[in-house]
Amino acid sequence: MMLRSSKVVGLIELETSKASRRVSGKEKGLCGETKSKEADHKLASGSLPKQVKSSSLVSRVFKHFQDYLRHVAVISLTAAAVIMACSLRGDLALVAIFLYKSYLTTVDPTIDQSPLDNANDTANESVTMTATSLRIGKYDPLLPDYLQLPDSYNMKDLLFFVGIAVTSSQIMYQAVCGFFQLYFYTLKRDSPEEWKCQPHRFLTRSNEIHEIVVGTTNMTIAGTISGFITCWVVNGNYSTVYFDISEYGYLYFFSSFVIIFLWIEAMAFYSHALLHTPWFYRNCHKQHHRYHSPTAYSVVALSPFELVFYDSLILSPLFLFPIHGLPYVSVLVYVYYFGMMDHSGIKMTSWFPWQPDTMFHDDHHKYFHVNFGFNSTLFDRIHGTLRQSNREYGEDVFWGKGREKK
């Protein structure tokens, strides 16, 4: 009985609340009508709040659209720069081959190391040469004896790889560097304080032409080297490159990113410091430092000796210790990308905490024998070659320590 009474009371309270909501709803409707009439009166009297709201909405949409375009431009430029970095020395072909070989070994683990040809089956073949293929056999009657190569080497499609490497590197080099030159150094030349590392210093016209000519020539040389090495590796000749992660395990695979990065950074630092000793600087590296306020074109505007020297050090892991293609190519892309940014002369910071901003290497060109590192300040800190504000530097002050200010 108590239960039923409570149910009845509950139903009464429920109906009462519904009725009160209906009444309040009608009141709100009346209020709404009153407000709409007031709004009509305001519109008739010349007050246009709706148009104001409409115009503010349009302005907000336009602002968001501008922000969107700005983000798209930044992302597009970054993507173009990454592709440029990847193909800076023709390594776009190397990336494709690494991915292709990784795919093949995943699909069929028993597949031969060379996806294009079997070096063992062609070891005893005679020399044949076509427009895109050079196969090295036992003896080449066109070459003297001291230039004959062992019959175990196979360089199928050598001219194809070199052609792809040189073409891709030249296209991207000219396109991306040309964009920087046009957008910043031409269209924004009147406001260098906003974007330039050294806002009051520009290269002379003769130095601009010089860096473009030297850089274009070196890009051809570097692309040829990269194409040759790619062809060498992909045809199963000697290298320490592997493509099956399980061969050395995942721990070594992920550690390889750090190992390769530190190896390349160490080689770059010590070779760079060597080139800044008095004899090497005056007879070799001085040419690169004629670009006291560098642009992106100067990233490979070096002497041919330096170019081959640097490339040899960067490519050395392919023949010295086991290295998976993915970590190696990833680090190469990283190094080449930031190498181009560091020489652009444009103020930029990095997403990575260990990567110095572009002012770090720009200061190297400005103060000469200091800041020898590229992708970190680690070795500069170890050897005390970081630029100090209380020290004096110049082209005749060697060894990276500077001297006391007078």
- Among 5-14, 223-232, 260-269, 320-329, where is mean pLDDT lowest? 5-14
pLDDT at 52: 52
**Residue 223's closest CA among 178, 300, 172, 170?**
170
Statement: residue 297 has pLDDT above 50: yes
Q: Are the CB atoms for 297 and 215 separated by under 8 Å?
A: yes
pLDDT at 112: 46
Statement: residue 202 has pLDDT above 90: yes
Statement: residue 288 has pLDDT above 70: yes
pLDDT at 130: 36
Domain residue ranges in the chain: 67-119+154-404
pLDDT at 329: 84
**Residue 89's closest CA among 365, 259, 314?**
314
Statement: residue 285 has pLDDT above 70: yes
| 67-95 confidence digits (pLDDT tens) | 665 555 444 444 444 444 444 454 544 55
| 261-283 confidence digits (pLDDT tens) | 999 999 999 999 999 999 999 99
389 or 12: whose pLDDT is higher?
A: 389
Statement: residue 138 has pLDDT above 80: no
Q: What is the mean pLDDT of residues 228-242?
A: 84
Place of tokens 């089956």: 121
- Return the SS3 of 129: strand
